[in-house]
Amino acid sequence: MLEGKKIILGVCGSIAGYKSATLVRLLVKAGAQVQVVMTKDATGFITPLTLSTLSKKPVLVDYYKNDTGEWNNHVELGLWGDLMLIAPASANTMAKMATGLCDNLLMAVYLSAKCPVYFAPAMDLDMWKHESTQTNVAKLVKYGNTLIPPGSGELASGLSGEGRMSEPEEIVDFLSTEIKKKLPLNHKKVLVTAGPTYEAIDPVRFIGNHSSGKMGFAIAAQLVKLGADVTLVTGPTALKSGMGIKRIDVTSAAEMLEACTANFPNTNACVMSAAVADYTPVTVASQKIKKQDAGFNIELKKTTDILKTLGGMKQPGQVLAGFALETNDEEQNAIGKLQSKNLDFIVLNSLNDKGAGFRTDTNKITIIDRDLQKTVYDLKSKDDAAIDICNKVTALLTA
């Protein structure tokens, strides 16, 4: 949820400032860009050098740089951030936030911020419980800021109770959950298939195809960005799935069928992009077949059509999409597949289009829906093609 997000992290004067190092590291690890803004008091608890090293950006403390006089533009910073997080938020800083007192760079950035603001208080038990602090917290929430509640435990004073800043891992989880709540596919479960299947001939050899799985993996990653809970059933591939994806590895068409039929009933949508084998050997040799005769025949039988099976299981409200990779009569074949398998839309691509098909980083797709409305897209990266496909899924699920 935090990948690519631009985060302004405000660090205030508090013993909990040492947690800021871990917080910055976790945010950067999650793929966020982090700009740290510190109060002068905060630099007494943790050095700007530490946080600049972890964030890979200069830490800002003053309105301007003493050596050059260059202005640290708080207005630009307020526009830059996708979200602002003040952690630790001291009682002093929260009082300034509540009253609009602006006597340092952090407060100037806060008052200029156009993005959502989160604050994680850190102070001793009596300070946290004091009526003035609670009044300021209530004001901040009323202003539209989001409180990340403090935890309970041993405090720096030696007392034990509420007031300690939430742990960095808890803050990252909190931010991810809050961001996900606002995404269009939050609480939606989507099943995606990807890659080839391998149909064993003997312990060494198999029948397979050239699918790399890139398209399905790109779709799964984009669905996560839209807030969906994604289950990815993938055939053999060297690709790595990203965070937030429940991955199920399979080898054969029969294994993919089992995984899909087990997971499909509990999903809101399914995008079947895997290149599943249409045929599998009738008999699998228990030992490696030796090369002897000039000719060699393998008897094959049809595999179960997974897409058609799911189409027969589909309930009202579920969205089911398939792929059609064609070499001739492309549109006619795709429409036939769309209608015979009870799909909501089909993604057509042709091996006649340069840059489309297996083992490429690009794809050229046409989406045809059940009303036979056709949308033709230009050649794009598979990541961008995934956006088009997932936008169609989103439109159907949120209609």
Cα separation, 396 vs 385, whole angstroms:
17
Is 40 within any annotated ligand binding site? Answer: no
- Whether the per-residue pLDDT at 161 is higher than 70: the answer is yes
pLDDT of 327 reads: 80
- Whether the per-residue pLDDT at 97 is higher than 90: the answer is yes
Per residue in 289-319, pLDDT tens? Answer: 888 777 888 999 999 999 999 999 999 999 9
Domain ranges of the chain: 6-181, 189-397
pLDDT of 22 reads: 97
pLDDT of 16 reads: 94
% of the chain surpassing 90 pLDDT: 82
Cβ-Cβ contacts under 8 Å for 4 (sequence gap 6 or more): 31, 32, 33
Cα separation, 397 vs 158, whole angstroms:
53
Other C-beta atoms closer than 10 Å to the C-beta of 398 total 9
Cα separation, 216 vs 247, whole angstroms:
12
pLDDT of 319 reads: 98
Query: For the residues 271-289, what does the mean pLDDT come to?
Result: 94
Q: What is the largest CA-CA distance in the chain?
A: 91
Is 323 within any annotated ligand binding site? Answer: yes
pLDDT band at 357 (very low <50, low <70, confident <90, very high): low
Q: Domain 189-397 belongs to what topology?
A: Rossmann fold (3.40.50)
Query: For the residues 172-200, what does the mean pLDDT come to?
Result: 95
Is 246 within any annotated ligand binding site? Answer: no
What is the model's pTM?
0.81
Which residues are catalytic, by number?
209
pLDDT band at 153 (very low <50, low <70, confident <90, very high): confident
For residue 208, the Cα-to-chain-centroid distance in whole angstroms is 30
> What's the start-to-end Cα distance of the chain, in Å?
24
Query: For the residues 43-66, what does the mean pLDDT come to?
Result: 93
Which residue matches tokens 């054969």?
252
- Joined together, the tokens standing for residue 136 give 């300021």
Where does 6-181 sit in CATH, by number? 3.40.50.1950
* Helical (H) or strand (E) element with 231: strand 229-234
**Mean pLDDT over all residues of the chain?**
93
Query: For the residues 75-104, what does the mean pLDDT come to?
Result: 95
Per residue in 190-213, pLDDT tens? Answer: 999 999 999 999 999 999 999 999
Q: Is the dihedral of CA 156, 160, 165, 166 positive or negative?
A: positive
pLDDT of 289 reads: 87
DSSP E strands, 55-184: 83-89, 117-121, 146-147, 151-154, 160-164
Cβ-Cβ contacts under 8 Å for 10 (sequence gap 6 or more): 37, 38, 39, 84, 85, 86, 87, 89, 93, 106, 109, 110
% of the chain surpassing 70 pLDDT: 98
Common-topology check for domains 6-181 and 189-397: yes
pLDDT of 311 reads: 97
Closest CA relative to residue 338, chosen from 371, 364, 314:
371
Contact criterion met (CB below 8 Å) for 110 and 84: yes
DSSP E strands, 235-284: 245-249, 269-272, 279-281
Is 288 within any annotated ligand binding site? Answer: yes
Is the bond leading into 150 cis (omega within 30 degrees of zero)? Answer: no
